[in-house]
Each structure stands twice: as C-alpha cells, then as structure tokens.
C-alpha cells in the first residue's frame, strides 16, 4: 500500500546512488551509473510495474471482477496504487539520472568518460520520459537534480518532453558502438531515436519531417546489420537470456537483489504452476488468443505467447509437481487452460450392489486402475465461420449422441459444454496465461528472466509502418515479412503460418495489418500499451471492437450481469465504444498521490 502520512512529490526524490557520490574515479562513476540502471530494473519500474501496468491496461488482459479491476476493464481510477507506483518508479530513474549527470559534470573525469557515462545516463532518462509520455501525455519535465523547491512543477507539453528525449538520445549517439550485455550503446540510442521520431509523427508533431527522421535512424541501424532476429521466437523469453542479437535494450535482473528482481511471473503466472509464489492475478483474454489463432492458425508464436497447460503443484511453494498419476504421462498429470478442455469417456456400465453404474476409461499404474482417464481437446476453430470468433450457437447445438465411438461422443459432449466451461466457469482455467512472463522455475517471487525492453522485431515493424506512411508499401511488406518468416520457421511451426502478406495490399490495408502485428508479435511485452494506442482512437476502436464482439466474452459478460460471478469476462463500456471512451483510454490518469503532493499539477487527462 502507498504510505499517506506525508505528501511527497516524485519530483522531490533524493537519489540514493548518485547525489552523495563525488564520482572521484572512473570506477566510482561507473558504479553510480549502474545504480541508475538498477532503478530502471527495480520493482517500481521494469522489475514489476512498468511491465504490469502497460500489459494490464492494454485491453487484452483479464483479472477477476473484484471491485478494483479498473486497470484491465479500461475504467481505471486516478487513485489506483499501480498507477502511482509506476509514475514514481519512472521518475525515480529520472531523479537518479539528473543527479548523476550533475555530479558527473562537476567531476574531474576526462571528457571521454563524461561523454560515455553521461550518454548512458541520458539514454535511461530518455526511456523513462518516453514511457511517461506514452502513459500520461503531458508530464512535469525536470532535467536538474531534485531539491525541496521542486515540489511545485507543472506539466510540460508532450512536445517539449519529447524534444528533450530527442536531445538526450542524440547526445547518447556519441557513446561507444559496443557495450556489455545490459548496457546501452550508440546503436541502441539510434534505434530508440527512430522509435521516438515515429511516435512524434503519429502524435502529429511535424509529421512529414519526423517520418523522414525515423526512416533515417532506422535505415542506418538496418543497413549496418547491428541487430538480427533470433532464429527461434520462443528463445527470446527463456531463462537469463543474454547477448541476444535481437536485443536493442534489455534489463538484466538478479534473484538476490532486494529491489532489482523480475516479479512478472509472480503476478502473471497461474497459482501452482511454479515452485515459487504465483497468484494468477492477471491472465490473457480469450479474445486475444482467438484473434491470433484465427489470423495465423498454428503460428508458433502462439505457444510462446499463451500458456495453456502446465504440471500442477497443488499450491504455492511446492518444489515439485504432483506425482504422475499412471505408469505413463497423461492428461491427468496437467492442468489445461483456454482453449483446451478435458473430458472423460464412458465405455459402458456395470452392476454394483444391484445398481447400474458407469464404467470409464481408466489410468493404470502397476496393472491397477487408479483414476478415470482424461482426454484433451480444444475449440474446433476450423468448424467456425470465423476462426477469430468461436461460434457458441454452433457448439450449443452439437448433437451429443453423434459419433461412432464412445470417445467421439464424449468429445462432442465436452464441446457442447463450452458455454458453461468458458463463459460461466467460475475458475481461472477459462483464460490462457501469459507465457512470456511465466517462469516454471521461479524462486520465491523472483523470475529467472531478463527483459528485452526494445528488440529488433519491434524496430522492423515500426520501420515498416514508417515506409508505408511514406508511400513505399512494398518495402513495408518486405520488412514485415522478415518478422513473419522468422515466426513460421521457429520451433514448433509448420513452415506455413504466419503466411506472407499479399503484395497487392493497399496502403490502408498494410497500416491496419501492421497495427495488429504489433499485438501478435509483442503481446505480453511492455510495448503493447503504447503501440495499441499509437495510431489513435480509430485503430484502438478496431482492437477493442474485436474484443467486444467476441461471442464467449459477450456470453460471459451477460452471465455476470445475472450472477455477479467474479470469474467473468467484461465487455468494455457496455459495448459502446464512443469517441469519448476511446479518447479517455489513450492515456492513464495522473495519479492522485502526485496531484495531491504537487500543486503545480492542476488538471488531469481527458475524461478523468
């Protein structure tokens, strides 16, 4: 919970690492700089909240209806502590960087060291400010060390803040071209600068000029082959990934740090799915899974994005999964999430004490039947008129007596029960989980995963959109194809999906397809909030309208209205995606904690 005994603006933070460090040597200067990186990796920043908030507020994440689920239902309140923590964490990075840069300038270090260390600190400050603008728009801009006199600082226009971001990143172009893993280099600064110019263009800030600026940055990075796509998509999200050729900027965490550890698995993974502590706090929406599957059936990115089964441990802090049920592995050993469901097969009946009882197919251990055998199936997407939207009417009207074998009949019966299973279920298995955040070996609340904040695939998609906006649609399609080609040749793929885009698409068609490709490629990553809003309300409506039209989502929402079952989906704004609602959801509200503490902030974002 947020301490409320005193009102302290995040602009009045006193940095722990930098302010009292005289930076008398290169070693001390580097240690203090690493402190700035550490704050970027802290729980208040990318260690938790700068992952949690952008993913949850994207429009494609689920949590229980519990009275405080505003962030995922797109009805967020300015009093939400998650918003306050995220704001505070990003400004702490800025406060540290500001103090560090002032102390560095006062030091006796040589100019080469000042350029290198200062450029890295400016990069961190630029990333923090970019995130603040993406989440909140106009925000207080501070580039000097904090003092008690800074408590009243008004919001600066986003144009001015992004101007400072460009300046910081331009200065960072002077640092070394190579760096240790987890540290930035000049190519990372150039790639991020391209992203900033792209955003400025999308915000209507000197659109034509900034599209060309973005193109120039991206072209230089691209032509020098400084980054490459990893061969296998899922490898991007493994344990302690380091030195990836796809990583432009990443943060490396530690299991033993008191603050700079990755807590994402703790927040997003199903309870009992790891040896640590997980809460199933957030899951992915069914609509996001079906949109991806229906667009690209059997795309191997789906298995790397959505967790749909795991070995159950029976609770938290269980070092091992439950024992295997039978002599051989079976569906009985695992838990299955949407869109998979289990069923049992009745093979006949027998008389027991004068009563007829059902006989089921069984699991055997040591020659003895020990459990009723479970089978697994999934939604029959191929049978739906629209694979992006499961047809409940079709499933409701299946003939439960059809089928030539007991197993076929049992499977049909299970599919006929989909409405109850996934729309009126009352349990967390009705949604897939976020696979990218899941750590099956999680220790306590700490994940064995580093985080790629910005990676080459994202740059290629942004670059493609820039080329499309500049009327070179064929070049845009070819850039997207690099991302799609990697996906279809990744482990688990069939070499077909995701299919290459037709070359005769119009500019408008490519623009929309790139927008949804942001979701497919980056779902469950911190960029998804920004990129799903970067094209404004017209495109945000396309995404949220799909969610609102999803049949199982609608049925679940309707069930909630009559049952108040907290394990129910939500339809955004009761299905009425007005321009006012969409505009409100382009940004988060300025947190009450900051508005109360900073008299310079006298307003809030649209709709709040």
Choosing from 437, 471, 501, the residue where a domain stops is: 437
Chain center to CA of 128 = 17
- Per-residue confidence (pLDDT) for residue 403, from 0 to 100: 85
CA angle 455, 456, 460 (to 5 degrees): 130
Pick the last residue of a domain from 383, 409, 437. 437
Give the per-residue pLDDT at 21.
Answer: 63
What are residue 358's DSSP bridge partners?
349
CATH code for the domain of 234: 1.25.40.390
Mean per-residue pLDDT, 558-583: 96
Please give the DSSP secondary-structure letter assigned to residue 139.
B
Tokens 């000097």 sit on residue: 144
Q: How far is Cα 192 from Cα 189, in angstroms, rounded to an integer?
A: 5
pLDDT at 359: 96
pLDDT at 2: 30
Q: Is residue 547 part of a domain?
A: no
- Residue range 309-357, pLDDT digits in tens: 999 999 999 999 999 999 999 999 999 999 999 999 999 999 999 999 9
What are the CA-CA distances from residue 572 to residues 206, 564, 578 (Å)? 33, 16, 10
Task: Note whether 185 and 139 are same-domain residues.
Answer: yes
Which residues have CB under 8 Å from 147's CB, separation 6+? Answer: 12
398 and 454 share one domain: no
Could you tell me if 145 and 251 lie in one domain?
yes
Q: Do 131 and 246 sit in the same domain of this protein?
A: yes
The answer on 453 and 341 residing in a single domain is no
Domain count along the chain: 2
Q: What is the pLDDT of residue 5?
A: 29
Distance in angstroms (rounded) separating the CA atoms of residues 519 and 36: 30
pLDDT of residue 31 exceeding 50: yes
CB 274 within 8 A of CB 442: yes
DSSP 442-481: -BTTB-S--EEEEEHHHHHHHHHHHHHHTT-HHHHHHHHH
Confidence of residue 148 (pLDDT cuts 50, 70, 90): low
Number of neighbours of residue 172 by Cβ within 10 angstroms: 27
Cis peptide before 339 (omega within 30 of 0): yes
pLDDT of residue 12: 57
- Contacts within 8 Å (CB) and 24+ apart, 510-514: 510/464, 510/468, 510/473, 510/476, 510/477, 510/480, 511/465, 511/468, 511/469, 511/535, 512/539, 512/542, 513/480, 514/461, 514/464, 514/465, 514/468, 514/476, 514/480
Q: What are phi and psi of 285, to 5 degrees?
A: -80, 150
Contact 134, 107 (CB under 8 A): no
Which residues lie below 8 Å from residue 256, measured CB to CB, with a gap of 6+? none
Question: Cα–Cα distance between 164 and 117 in angstroms, integer?
Answer: 18
| Helix then strand then coil, % of the chain, to nearest 5 | 45, 10, 45
Residue 455's φ and ψ, nearest 5 degrees, are -130, 165
Q: How confident is the model at residue 15 (pLDDT cuts 50, 70, 90)?
A: low
Environment class of 407 (CB within 10 Å of its CB; exposed 0-12, middle 13-18, buried 19+) = middle
Are the CB atoms for 522 and 531 separated by under 8 Å? yes
User: How many Å apart are CA 195 and CA 217, to the nearest integer?
Assistant: 9
Q: Residues 515, 484: one domain?
A: yes
For the record, the structure tokens of 2 come out as: 């947020």
Alpha helices in 49-110 (DSSP H): 49-56, 70-73, 81-106
Quote the pLDDT of residue 8: 57
Q: What pLDDT does residue 68 have? A: 79
Q: Do 104 and 168 belong to one domain?
A: yes
Over residues 217-225, mean pLDDT: 98
Characterize 37-69 residue by residue with b for buried, 16 or more Cβ atoms within 10 angstroms of its Cβ, and e for exposed.
bbbbbbbbbbbbbbbbbbbbbbbbbbbbbeeeb
Query: If you average pLDDT over residues 515-540, what whole number do you get?
Result: 98
Q: Is 510 within a domain? A: yes
Is the per-residue pLDDT at 401 higher than 70?
yes
Name the helix (H) or strand (E) containing 219. helix 207-223
Range of the domain at 105: 10-262+449-536+586-597
- Looking at the fold, whether 497 and 526 belong to one and the same domain comes out as yes
Assess whether 461 and 415 both reside in one domain: no
pLDDT, tens digit (0-9, with 9 covering 90-100), for 498-517: 999 999 999 999 999 999 99
Q: Are residues 369 and 270 in the same domain?
A: yes
Domain-located, residue 384: yes
Both 180 and 248 in a single domain?
yes
pLDDT at site 426: 86
pLDDT at 149 over 80: no
| Count of Cβ atoms closer than 10 Å to residue 341 Cβ | 23
Mean per-residue pLDDT, 271-280: 95
pLDDT digits (tens, 9 = 90+) for 71-102: 999 999 999 999 999 999 999 999 999 999 99
380 & 454 share domain: no
Domain assignment present for residue 602? The answer is no
pLDDT, tens digit, for every residue of 448-464?
Answer: 999 999 999 999 999 99
pLDDT at 1: 27
- What pLDDT shows up at residue 13? 55
Question: Residue 250 falls within a domain, yes or no?
Answer: yes
pLDDT > 90 fraction of the chain, expressed in percent and rounded: 92
Distance of CA 438 to the CA centre of its chain: 12
Spatial separation of the C-alpha atoms in residues 230 and 238, rounded to whole Å = 12
- Answer whether residue 6 shows pLDDT above 50: no
In a domain, 551, yes or no: no
Question: Are the beta carbons of 42 and 89 closer than 8 angstroms?
Answer: yes
Q: Are strands 61-62 and 247-251 parallel, antiparallel or unpaired?
A: unpaired
- State the DSSP H helix or E strand holding residue 163, giving kind and residue range, or none if neither: helix 158-172
Report residue 479 CA to chain centroid gap: 23
Please tell me the predicted confidence (pLDDT) of residue 453.
98
For residue 75, the model assigns a pLDDT of: 96
Residue 181 covered by a domain: yes
Q: What pLDDT, in 10s, does the model give residues 161-185?
A: 999 999 999 999 999 999 999 999 9
Helix axes 456-469, 473-488, angle to 10 degrees: 160
- Give the domain-ending residue among 437, 466, 491: 437
Angle 117-122-124 from CA coordinates, rounded to 5°:
100
In a domain, 561, yes or no: no
pLDDT of residue 3: 31
Closest CA to 172 of 114, 218, 227: 114
Give the residue with greater pLDDT, 418 vs 145.
418
How sure is the predictor about 151, in pLDDT bands with cuts at 50, 70 and 90?
Answer: confident
């Amino acid at each position: 919970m947020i301490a409320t005994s005193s009102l302290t603006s995040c602009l009045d933070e006193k940095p722990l690492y930098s302010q009292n460090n005289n930076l008398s040597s290169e070693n001390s200067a580097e240690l203090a700089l690493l402190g700035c990186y550490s704050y970027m990796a802290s729980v208040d920043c990318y260690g938790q909240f700068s992952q949690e908030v952008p993913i949850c507020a994207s429009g494609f994440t689920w949590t229980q209806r519990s009275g405080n689920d505003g962030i995922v239902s797109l009805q967020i309140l300015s009093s939400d502590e998650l918003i306050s923590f995220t704001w505070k964490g990003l400004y702490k990075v800025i406060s540290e960087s500001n103090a560090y840069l002032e102390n560095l300038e006062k030091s006796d270090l040589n100019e080469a060291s000042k350029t290198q260390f200062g450029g890295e600190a400016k990069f961190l400050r630029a990333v923090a400010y970019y995130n603040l603008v993406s989440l909140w728009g106009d925000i207080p801009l501070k580039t000097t060390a904090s003092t008690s006199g800074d408590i009243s600082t008004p919001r600066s226009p986003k144009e001015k803040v992004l101007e400072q971001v460009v300046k910081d990143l331009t200065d960072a172009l002077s640092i070394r071209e190579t760096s240790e893993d987890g540290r930035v280099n000049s190519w990372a600064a150039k790639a991020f600068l391209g992203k900033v110019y792209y955003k400025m263009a999308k915000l209507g800030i000197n659109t034509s000029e900034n599209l060309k600026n973005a193109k120039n940055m991206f072209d230089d990075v691209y032509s020098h082959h400084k980054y490459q796509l990893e061969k296998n998509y899922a490898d991007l999200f493994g344990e302690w990934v380091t030195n990836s050729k796809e990583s432009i900027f990443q943060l490396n965490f530690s299991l033993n740090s008191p603050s700079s550890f990755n807590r994402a698995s703790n927040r997003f993974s199903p309870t009992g799915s790891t040896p640590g502590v997980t809460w199933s706090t957030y899951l992915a929406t069914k609509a996001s899974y079906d949109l991806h599957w229906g667009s690209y059936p059997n795309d191997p990115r789906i298995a790397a994005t959505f967790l749909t089964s795991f070995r159950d441990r029976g609770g938290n802090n269980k070092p091992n999964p439950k024992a295997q049920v039978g002599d051989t592995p079976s569906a009985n050993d695992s838990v299955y999430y949407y869109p998979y469901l289990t069923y049992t097969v009745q093979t006949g009946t027998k008389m027991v004490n004068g009563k007829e009882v059902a006989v089921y197919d069984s699991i055997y251990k040591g020659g003895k039947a020990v459990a009723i055998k479970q089978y697994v199936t999934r939604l029959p997407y191929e049978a739906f008129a629209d694979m992006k939207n499961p047809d409940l009417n079709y499933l409701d009207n299946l003939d439960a007596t059809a089928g030539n074998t007991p197993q076929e009949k049992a499977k049909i019966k299970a599919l006929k029960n989909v409405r109850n299973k996934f729309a009126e279920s009352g349990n967390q298995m009705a949604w897939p989980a976020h696979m990218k955040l899941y750590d099956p070996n999680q220790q306590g609340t700490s994940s064995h995963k580093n985080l790629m904040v910005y990676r080459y695939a994202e740059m290629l998609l942004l670059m493609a959109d820039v080329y499309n906006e500049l009327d070179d649609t064929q070049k845009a399609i070819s850039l997207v194809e690099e991302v799609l080609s990697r996906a279809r040749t990744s482990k688990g793929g069939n070499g077909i999906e995701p299919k290459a885009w037709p070359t005769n698409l119009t500019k408008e068609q490519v623009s929309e397809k790139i927008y949804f490709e942001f979701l497919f490629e980056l779902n469950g990553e911190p960029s998804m909030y920004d990129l799903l809003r970067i094209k404004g309300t017209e495109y945000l409506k396309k995404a949220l309208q799909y969610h609102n039209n999803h049949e199982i989502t609608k049925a679940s929402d309707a069930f909630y209205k009559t049952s108040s079952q907290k394990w129910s989906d939500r339809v955004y704004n009761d299905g009425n995606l007005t321009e006012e609602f969409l505009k409100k959801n382009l940004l988060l509200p300025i947190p009450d904690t900051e508005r109360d503490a900073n008299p310079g902030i006298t307003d809030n974002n649209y709709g709040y």
